[in-house]
Structure 1
Amino acid sequence: MRWLITLSLRPKRASLLRCFIEGFLVSISNPKAVIFFMSIFPQFIDVTQEYAPQFVLLAATFSVLVIVIHTIYAAFASFAKSKLSSKKGNALLNKISGGVFVSFGVGLAASSK
């Protein structure tokens, strides 16, 4: 009985298509993104040419750049996870972050005269 209650309390996994559609709708309705594209795209669109192919080319270029950047982020995060999850990596991370905090403290103490 308790197992059935536990199963009913777990959230259902959304399909990949649903996640994509939700992400797309959030992105397309983001006012900052709309303002960004409205301010950037007109500079690169020739009014004497047809709008649709130019817009598709600009959108595709932007999409490819975003995919490349996010892939680099993911690869770096995977690399950092593999290096920092060991004891040696964790100790190094602690030393680096401790050094950063100490340097911030020294800088703060030196600036407050």
Structure 2
Amino acid sequence: MTNIDFVGYLAVCIIAAGTPGPGTLAVINQSLTKGVKRTVPLIVGIGLGLACASVIAIGSLLYSYTISPWAYQLIGLCGACYLCYLGLKLIVSSNKSMDIVSEEGVLANSSLALQGFYISLLNPKTILFFLAIYPVYLNSTSTFSVNFINLTVSLVLITATIHTVYSVLCAKVAKIIKINTGLIMRVTGIIFLVFAIMIVSEIIRGLAI
């Protein structure tokens, strides 16, 4: 992989990470309602999910087979169910008190990390992204391992950086403008439900072909 190839890959990563999706939406919602510090675990979880998806994709390519349609559909269905769960949870929680006890905050950090992990890993388009990109850039057996690590780490770091920028900007907006956290949570919940419906619709179209 040449330096020009790597720069091209970085550009693709920046576009992919900056494009609105479930992960970005979760970061924006968390930043607006809780602040940057409470968004960090979510960003870490998203990064770990990306790394795991990368390993799954490279394992598929190494053994010279692609993920079968039923496996892709199963991942998509699990992702849709999880997004639906998150959406309903946000809508219901929007009517409750937003006060968090410090003791619960520790548990919430791990929950946020898991939430980010599942959002990232259970998004079928994440694995498809790796399956589409890796054959282009991992074309040398002598530098395969090094390139794989570089590509994975680069995507995780770029995604984390962009999400951190989003988080800081949203937190600043929340300080300047009085944010109705309940409304933000309800809107985010509805968008999560829309994402879930879109994934299920895509699966149904795939079954119909």
What residue in structure 2 maps to residue 67 of structure 1?
160
Percent of aligned pairs sharing the same letter? 23
Distance 1:85 1:18 in 2: 27
Aligned residue among 135, 138, 155 for 1:45: 138
Larger Rg: 1
For normalisation by structure 1, the TM-score amounts to 0.53
User: Does residue 57 in structure 1 map to residue 150 in structure 2?
Assistant: yes
Q: Which runs of 5+ in 2 are unaligned?
A: 1-103, 180-209
What is the CA-CA distance between 1:35 and the residue it aligns to?
Answer: 0.6
Aligned residues: 75
What is the CA-CA distance between 1:54 and the residue it aligns to?
Answer: 1.3
Q: Which runs of 5+ in 1 are unaligned?
A: 1-11, 87-113
Trace 1:1-113 onto structure 2 (pairs within 5 A): 14=107, 16-17=109-110, 19-21=112-114, 23-85=116-178
What is the CA-CA distance between 1:15 and the residue it aligns to?
Answer: 5.5
- Corresponding letter in the other structure for 1:43: V
What residue in structure 2 maps to residue 6 of structure 1?
none
Q: CA RMSD in A?
A: 2.5
What is the CA-CA distance between 1:27 and the residue it aligns to?
Answer: 2.4
- Secondary structure of 1:47's aligned partner: coil
For normalisation by structure 2, the TM-score amounts to 0.31
- Corresponding letter in the other structure for 1:54: N
- Corresponding letter in the other structure for 1:24: F
Q: Which has the higher contact order (CA 8 A, sep 6+)?
A: 2
- Secondary structure of 2:139's aligned partner: coil
